[in-house]
Amino acid sequence: MELQPPLFGIDKSGAASKQPALTSPDLKNVRPICSLEGRVRLGQRPGLDKWGAGTQIGGVEQPVVAMCLVRSAH
């Protein structure tokens, strides 16, 4: 049996016994990375930089202008 990395990311929609293929119920700060040889490995997600002037998002200087939700049917 070959162990496959969770290329489709995290999925907390149900029981572990019904976990979709190539997903994991518990991932933290990882993402799939493709190498030049065509192999896929998991790597650490890069750190996040501060955005804006440091004021609270949703305040007068940085109003929330859009929100969206994207789902994949894999």
Strands 30-34 vs 40-44: parallel, antiparallel or unpaired: antiparallel
51 or 48: which carries more pLDDT confidence? 48
Query: Is this prediction's pTM over 0.85?
Result: no
Least Cα distance to 30 among 43, 41, 21 occurs for 43
Mean pLDDT, range 45-68, rounded to an integer? 68
Q: Give the pLDDT confidence of 1-36 residue by residue, as tens digits.
A: 677 778 788 888 888 788 888 888 887 777 777 777
What is the helix (H) or strand (E) element at residue 43, kind and residue range? strand 40-44
Backbone angles phi, psi at 49, to 5 degrees: -95, 155
CB within 8 Å of 66: residues ≥ 6 apart: none
